[in-house]
Amino acid sequence: MMISLTLVTLAKKNHSPDAPQATLEQHQKSAASIVCQLKYNADPNSFINDVLGVVATLGKLNDDNLSRILSEYLGLDTMLALVCATYNGVEALETYDKEGFVSKSSGLHGLSASIGRPIDGRFNVICLENLRPYVGEFIPDDPQKRLALLKPKLPNGESPQGFLGFAVNMIQLDSAHLVSLTSDGHGLRETLFYNLFSGLQVYSTRAHMLQALPFLSHGAISLDGGLVRSNGVIVIGTRDEMKVRFARSCFVGDDTENKMKELKWRKETSVEEVQREEAMVQHVKYIFEVKKQEFVRFMAQSSPYVVMQYPVQATPRRTTPR
């Protein structure tokens, strides 16, 4: 459930080099800018502490093109939405007088006025406990707790050409956001980002994406700027250059242990994928040899010359894939 209140941009005070490309200078009176400033000096009991951050600051990506297109897919209002853990935190942001008008002396409006930066306009707030979480399985032993979503499959059992994965699983989360953030024990991936992206697929090129249209139940994007929304609408034309994007992930900082686990998991996963590919190759070779012998036998029934040129061999033994 997304509650429309008011919003703008974000950025951390004294932010790191990999922070989102926000333009706070242009939005000094925005809700997100003010929240980011106030959170660093907030009282432990302040309602501001229920605000986890802004969508654009809560996830990272290791590819600039992917960051641009995912930001465009979500849109500026969503990228700059405040994210609260509970509905009590949402209610505390804004109160109303007897006539139903926003009170400028309480909540976030009161705090912003006290520092000489009254909020302009409206902004979006997303409440985690009001979101319907993902209820499926997670990828085993994955330190990032990625979702075990079913990959699109062609009739031959393979994924469409150029398929890279699901957007929800490409978001990198800090360790603090992988732990339980809701009363039901859910983290950001299975609540916030699953609701934002669902089964959005990612392809290497626009051509690959368009070839996979029959398999796009929740839309798709491509690294070269292609975009198909969940309602089947294909977005064309010159894309907007989003100035507010997800930060670029890098393997540095206090999260070194988790980053090392991530690299180890990726290495082990890659080995398993290579073994599966080798097993598939052996299976294909076996099928080819069987079909070849069947063809030779068929031809032998029609022409003795074929037997002389291509003597029939014993059917190859099938090796068990590892």
Give pLDDT tens digits for 60-78: 998 888 999 999 999 988 9
Q: Average pLDDT of 125-136?
A: 94
30 pLDDT above the threshold of 80: no
Domain match, 46 and 82 both: yes
Domain match, 200 and 281 both: no
* Residue 316 belongs to a domain: no
Domain match, 226 and 269 both: no
Predicted pLDDT at 264: 57
Q: Take residue 34 and report the two structure tokens written for it.
A: 């003010």
Pairwise pLDDT comparison (296 vs 18), residue with the higher score: 296
pLDDT band at 111 (very low <50, low <70, confident <90, very high): confident
290 pLDDT above the threshold of 90: no
Name residue 228's beta-bridge partners.
Answer: 220, 234
- The residue ranges of DSSP E strands in 43-162, in sequence order, are 51-54, 60-61, 82-84, 123-127
Predicted pLDDT at 198: 94
Least confident span in 67-76, 155-164, 239-248, 255-264: 255-264
Q: Which of 227, 248, 269 is the last residue of a domain?
A: 248
Domain match, 198 and 281 both: no
Q: Average pLDDT of 122-127?
A: 92
Q: Which of 202, 228, 248 is the last residue of a domain?
A: 248
Domain match, 205 and 186 both: yes
* Residue 79 belongs to a domain: yes
- Total domain count for the chain? 2
Pairwise pLDDT comparison (144 vs 252), residue with the higher score: 144
Domain match, 64 and 146 both: yes
Q: Is residue 126 helix, strand or coil?
A: strand
* Residue 228 belongs to a domain: yes
320 pLDDT above the threshold of 60: no
* Residue 320 belongs to a domain: no
* Residue 184 belongs to a domain: yes
Q: Average pLDDT of 226-254?
A: 75
Distance CA 158, CA 70 (A): 25
Predicted pLDDT at 316: 61
* Residue 18 belongs to a domain: yes
Least confident span in 61-65, 243-247, 265-269: 265-269
Domain match, 260 and 244 both: no
Q: Which of 248, 267, 284 is the last residue of a domain?
A: 248
Domain match, 90 and 225 both: yes
CB 250 within 8 A of CB 61: no
Domain match, 129 and 23 both: yes
* Residue 317 belongs to a domain: no
Domain match, 271 and 233 both: no
260 pLDDT above the threshold of 70: no
Give CA angle at 128 (172, 138), nearest 5°: 45
Domain match, 12 and 117 both: yes
Predicted pLDDT at 62: 87
- Mean pLDDT, the chain, whole residue set: 78
CB 197 within 8 A of CB 191: no
pLDDT band at 199 (very low <50, low <70, confident <90, very high): very high
Domain match, 141 and 121 both: yes
* Residue 35 belongs to a domain: yes
Distance CA 140, CA 120 (A): 46
Backbone angles phi, psi at 271, to 5 degrees: -60, -45
Q: Average pLDDT of 117-133?
A: 90
Q: 100: domain range? A: 2-248
Least confident span in 47-51, 171-175, 310-314: 310-314
Predicted pLDDT at 226: 92
CB 269 within 8 A of CB 299: no
